[in-house]
A and B are shown apart, each in its own frame.
Chain A
Amino acid sequence: MNQTQNTDFDAIVVGSGITGGWAAKELTERGLKVLLLERGPMIEHGSGYKTEFKAPWELPYRGEGDQKQWKQDAFIQSKNFQLDEWNRHHFVNDKEHPYQTTADNGFKWLRSYQLGGRSLTWGRQCYRWGDGDFKANQQDGHGVDWPIRYKDVSPWYDRVESFIGVSGAAENLEQLPDGQFQKPMALFPPETALRQKLQTHYPERCLTIGRTANMTEAKSGRSPCQYRDICSRGCSFGAYFSTQSSTLPAAKATGNLTLMTDALVDKVRYDESAGRITGVDVINTSDRSRKHYTAKIVFLCAGSVNSVGLLLRSRSDAFPNGLANRNDVLGRYFMDHANSMGAVAVIPGFEKYYYEGNRPTGIVIPRFRNLSSASGDGTDFTRGYSYQGGAYRPTWTRGKRMAGLGQDFKNELRKPGTWMFALTVFAESLPRASNRITLSNKTDQYGVPQVNIDFSHGENEHAALRDAEKEARKMMDLLGGHVVMSSNQPGPGGMSIHEMGGARMGRDPRTSTLNGFNQVHDISNLFVTDGAAMASSACQNPSLTYMALTARAANYAADQLLNGSI
């Protein structure tokens, strides 16, 4: 380690969510003194989950939330169907945290500002990227070539999966590599039937149980899943991966962690003469006081938009357009999966079956289009899409759409509804320079410039969704399903909550922000390891890849620091 530096900490990690927790864990376990900064309030594991065990009749609005109030302060967050009265406090107040968009139906930025960030509220789906995903940009020319390949990340996927606990089934698919899985959760009868039908009619398509960071086996003081499916309230059992349940206890156990909540990082400081980062400026969101903390390395893990925003506002004489932005790439090539409801169908023939317990994952049908080459199987789009969803039996809420009154109606709703099958689509989002995060001339309550998000889905995404709808309907036909709804129209950007890019990795400093170790090309002690680093989006959930890249980058940084190279 470079002993000439006298800093407050060895490392500062900005953001305590999925990647921030991992950075803190890995760096502290390597013996570094780490300051972990979180802009939101403290939420203690267990005792902080205040609504976890509440029944609907114990809540004023029976779980639906104060919709009148939400129009005032959750007008963006309420677009997330997951939002309810139990977890409202795990999502931001839109009035207090404004941002700008360019389009009328602009980007919906769904956020969680608290200790643990979105690790408390995420969908928990964990999928490796295949080697084809890391080669895609090189093959079809969209975006810049990733400076890494699957083999570079694979051991870090192993490390992350083994630590966080991922349940799933091995399927030996090149496009969705197997990992270190705990035993899979079970399929429901219509799902098993569709899996079998696909094997016969579409052998290139595989329906498998969603690989999820909900454990089926206990580990490290954490209990297996209790099949409640109320994860976003927080889970005292520690049965799903969150910062609180998993990485934070590990980091704390080293004795090397300093955790600070209510600490908004305003700027990253750059010393032009030394050509390195010296630390960060922090606003205490409780009393508005400001303080500067120094460190030898800084990891940005604030989420794609906020990490990019922080770099953009960290201007200096050396970087007048934003830190690490001499090439006008910062903020560009921002992505989010195009998401639609491929099909929802009534499925006959399984009426004798019901289920007990709430499975906190669905099914996945991994990408099957354009696997042999960029656009090699006759489609009018490049790359691909995947399905998620599953089978279920509606409960009483179906009565809102049914005719009926009186005892007969009540008796009907006493029974579960007919089996339904839903297939939602995630289509790959191509990296485009025009999809961009910039700074607005408006500021927030702390005087910090707001971000402006200019985002739209492109024709390639629309073409993929059109194909996905057609194929979803065909697959429902295999089950004799009656499709009651289908669509090929994506929701607004942001609705997949898979923000990626803005500070992409690449081989060439002229066209990318980060090298293959998430390190800013010309600032060796600054790392960005959240979704901002992504150079393409694939069509599977990205969080596992963020975690693997973070663990990899943190160990690289520790190596570099300890051998004096940084």
Chain B
Amino acid sequence: MKRRKFIQASGLGLLSITSASQVWSALEGVDKTTLASAELLADLDALCDLMIPDTDTLGAKSVGVAPWLIIASEHELEGANSSTLTNFLNVLSPSGSFAEVPQSDQIKRLSEVDAQAFKEYSDSEIATLWRTVKALILTGYYSSKVGASEELRYKLIPGHLLPEVDITQDESANRAWSSDWMAGKL
């Protein structure tokens, strides 16, 4: 369990455990003094991969959401705090690293938790934590360049308003706008 706790580590240490470009891209402009353990990142990668896998576009693990989750939780996005990620992983996988659990068991376990959180609307600790972690992963992914502009559509300057696009006539139009800012806030 100790391995999951945040550690003060050097940038070099972090670089050794995941893609440098992903990490430094995610960390650009923020405090880099608090970095994460390899196990924590591996567990978060596993969660990201289960939730938003690679398909015809890259998924959450591949675009480097995991290190951003640490920044986001430390800065209390989505109601998280610096303990949210480790607390969740501790109750999700009390016997050890979630990443080391066979994938079929990972899916089964996380599906159970997801059902508790979003079908039963349980207020159990794990359901509450998962709602927060899931929100963080979604934000990390769909606000990434791939998630926003390849998986979804992103247009900063539409330049026009088409109020009535018939998406049955144009399948490419049946893809959500990540840049629909108002809809994103509601």
Contact = CB atoms under 8 A, between A and B. Distances in A.
Q: Which of B72, B107, B111, B139 has the most CB of A within 10 A?
A: B139
Interface stretch (B6-14, B34-42, B89-97, B157-165): B157-165
Interface in A67-116: 67-69, 71, 81
Contact of B152 (A57, A187, A396): A396
Contacts, number: 187
Contacts of B29: 59-60
A61 B107 contact: no
Interface in A406-425: 406-407, 409-411, 413-417, 420, 422
B182 A229 contact: yes
Contacts of B180: 358, 392-393, 395
B184 A403 contact: no
Interface residues of A, number: 60
Contact of A415 (B114, B157, B158, B176): B176
B159 to A, nearest CB: 5
A186 interface: yes
Given A55-B145, A403-B118, A352 B76 contact: no
Contacts of B114: 403-405
Contacts of A411: 55
B135 A354 contact: no
Nearest to B180: A395
A66 interface: yes
Range for the number of chain B residues in contact with chain A: 35 or more
Contacts of B186: 344, 392, 394, 420, 422
B119 A354 contact: no
Contact of A402 (B30, B53, B118, B162): B118
Given A395-B177, A403-B119, A407-B53, 13 more contacts: A53-B156, A56-B178, A60-B29, A66-B75, A186-B161, A227-B159, A356-B155, A356-B158, A397-B183, A406-B107, A407-B55, A409-B52, A422-B186
A229 B143 CA distance: 17
Interface of A: 53, 55-57, 59-64, 66-69, 71, 81, 185-189, 226-230, 344, 352-359, 392-397, 399-407, 409-411, 413-417, 420, 422
Interface in B131-152: 131, 134-135, 138-140, 142-145, 147-149, 151-152
29 contacts: A53-B156, A56-B148, A60-B28, A60-B29, A62-B72, A62-B144, A64-B72, A69-B75, A81-B185, A186-B161, A226-B159, A228-B156, A352-B167, A352-B168, A353-B166, A354-B165, A358-B177, A358-B181, A393-B183, A395-B180, A396-B147, A396-B176, A397-B138, A397-B142, A405-B50, A405-B111, A413-B138, A413-B142, A414-B152
Nearest to A185: B161
A494 B28 CA distance: 36
